[in-house]
Structures are given as structure tokens and as C-alpha cells.
Amino acid sequence: MSRTVLITGSTRGIGLAAARRFAAAGDHVVLTGRDQQAVSRTVAELREEALDVSGVVMDVTSEVSVRSAADEVARRIDSLDVLVNNAGVVLEDPAASGFVFAEPSVMARTLQTNVVGVATVIDAFLPLVLRSAAGRVVNVSSTMGSISDQADPSSPYYAASVPAYRASKSALNSLTVSLAKQLADTNVVVTAVCPGFVQTDLTPINRENAPLTAAQASEVVWRAGTAPAGSPSGAFVDSAGPVAW
């Protein structure tokens, strides 16, 4: 059965790959992005691949933009089966920073996109998700937000000095658990996923050193979005299974 899926930040990277994955399975995907030209170009590109997609402009850092997008989507569809919160940023450059620990403005901008933006999108689109017979909310997180992993000297990410990004993903994990508890008496399943170290434009290191393609990384997003009835809600997973909080 065809579903309706909305993915934030889906004009490139993991978001675009996830859009292709869902649409290839027969779903209708609503692409979103901050730039109208990028959204229109991506919609046209995927339609040329015979995929069922549409687009809406949405800046997750602007409540006005998010509410406007939600209103527009609600005029087009009756319910939303899968909401993927993919839009996110890494703004830190440890080599260039003159701050001992964390630059306050970078911390604020990171949290605004990666945490407040997600909460805003969930609040605006949740009424549509609740109309689905089997709604799914997928929050794209990171193992770098795992407190257990941050404290593990054997972790490959142990020395990564990006406190704003780490804090934002830890907070996103907390949002995931809070939302799952709030929706415990519904058919909505909420999942935080870590797609892994992916070849995207998130950082120069990703582009140059990451082992995973965006298409490979999108599989964990797709699996969470298509989780069967009875799946645990409030989980944190990667391609190998559960990730420690």
C-alpha cells in the first residue's frame, strides 16, 4: 500500500537518497528544503525517474515557514504516514575556532536547527501523522549523540571536538523518547536512527573520508519508516541494531 512521506532537508545527501528509496517502493514523497529553486529542481529530477514526488519550501529554523508548509501540505493530503526529520547541520570547525570550548553563536545555531527545528516540525505535522493508520516519525540522529559512546575511549568518535553537534544529537535523542512516551497510546512509532559516517556535504571530512554512500545510509531511515506494527517506539538504532543511549 502506498504511503505519504515527508522528509526535511531532502534536496541532497541522505534526505534525497531516502526520498528515492521511499518513492522507489511506491510511496508519494514530499520533498522539502529552504530554497525554492533547489526544491523545484529536485522534484523535476525525481519525476524524470518516474518517481511520485512533490515539494514544499520549508526552513526548519523558522516557525512561520514550518507552519506555512504544514498548512500547504494539509491542503494536499489527508494524512501523513511517515515524517522524517533529516535536516541538520554541523557548523563547528575546531581548527578555526578561537574559543576554548564552544562558540556560543555556533552552539545556538546548531541547536536551533538540529533540536528546535525538529520539535517545531513535529508539532506542526503531528496532527497529520496521527491521522495515519500506522504513523512513523524518524529522527536522523548520530552515535556522536550517545552519552555512552562519548564516554568510551575505544570509540572512533571519542576525540571528535564538536560539542554543539554532539549536544544537539543527545537532545534529539531525548526528544525521541519524550515523543514516544506521549504517543504510547497511539499507532505511531518513533525512532532515532544513526545512518553512519556518510559521504555527504555535511562536513569536508564526510566528503573525503566517509565509507558509506548516501544511498547505503538511507536504508536505516527506510527501515524505521516502514517498521511493522508492534515495533518498539522510542528506540535508537543504526544499521547493526540498537545504539546505547
Which letter, b or e, does each residue of 13-48 get, where b requires 16 or more Cβ atoms within 10 Å of its Cβ? bbbbbbbbbbbeeebbbbbbbbeeebbeebbeebee
**Which member of 22, 125, 165, 236 is catalytic?**
165
Number of helical H runs and strand E runs in the chain? 9, 8
Q: Grid coordinates 569536508 are at which residue?
A: 204
Q: How far is CA 208 from CA 85, 142, 156, in A?
A: 25, 19, 17
Encoded amino acid at 189, one letter: V
Beta bridge partners of 20: none
Ramachandran assignment for 19, one of left (phi > 0), alpha (psi -120 to 50 degrees), beta (any other):
alpha
User: CA-to-CA distance for 8 and 63, rounded, in angstroms?
Assistant: 14
Torsion (CA) 201, 60, 149, 154 in degrees, nearest 10:
10
The H-assigned helical ranges of the chain are 13-24, 36-48, 63-76, 104-111, 117-130, 147-150, 163-182, 204-209, 214-225
Which letter, b or e, does each residue of 126-145 get, where b requires 16 or more Cβ atoms within 10 Å of its Cβ? bebbeebebbbbbbbbbbbb
Q: Is 165 marked active-site?
A: yes
Which residues are catalytic, by number?
165
